[in-house]
Amino acid sequence: VNAAKQALSKAGRDPSDVDAVICSCSSLQRPYPAVGIEIQNALGTNGFAYDMNVACSSATFAMQNAYDMVRAGHARSALVVNPELCTGHLNFRDRETHFIFGDAAVAVLIEKAEIAPAGSWAILGTKCVTKFSNNIRNNFGFLNRCDPSGIGKPDKLITQQGRKVFKEVVPLVSEMILQHMAELDLKPSDMRRLWLHQANSNMNRLIAARVLGHEANEDESPTVLDEYGNTAGAGSIIAFHNHSSDLKTGDKGLICSFGAGYSAGSIFVQKAA
């Protein structure tokens, strides 16, 4: 709720201006009622709200949903909220995962260009890709909670095969981004900055190099992983929030997240006047 209030304040909007709320994250508190509706109630927004979960790609997938509903006329302003409480599904005995994650919440307001405030970012295009994999998995759910053979088992928390994920996700994401750039008639030289998913700096370095055609520096592909940890879907949005104010009108960039599913979402943006 605090992240949502900050997003509305920065955009100069009141809760009454919002027509839809999407709560999208990898760690939803419960199946129902939708957490998004509770956020809607706490903020006092209009219209409707719902939840969705695409693991570490939750924020970008929700932003595409919000973008599509605004373009279709179903909402003037759609609020995406991404509360990632990763601590809740960590196995603190698993050295593959427990030390890399952090908790965070971010929010993004998507609305029609004609009503957007000065200094906003225009969305040039969105793209989402999924490919099934068990290499990042959590089996916890209300259908298996009473199975005595599964109580307390480590598969009810996050499990990850890190090396396999690295090997398979880097080409998946790189190819998606390059294909998306071609669809939008964008070139690597058009990219002022890449705000990538904050899970693995080596992974980001390889993806950025494949996209840009050269080794990216910290200015071209900023890192917040060292400060916040892996905050799942929130990471790329935190990177954008912390490292976008210096860009000028007309500058273009990419917000990209990827993770369990596998799933990957890319959003190309341009700084508006």
Q: List, by residue number, the catalytic residues.
A: 56
Q: What is the DSSP letter of 57?
A: G
Cα dihedral across residues 129, 111, 35, 26: positive or negative: positive
Burial class (CB in 10 A: 0-12, 13-18, 19+), 231: buried
- On the question of a cis peptide bond just before residue 33, with omega within 30 degrees of 0, the verdict is yes
Measure Cα distances from 209 to 50, 138, 217 in Å.
37, 31, 10
Contact 216, 209 (CB under 8 A): yes
Q: What whole-number distance in Å separates Cα of residue 63 and Cα of residue 24?
A: 9
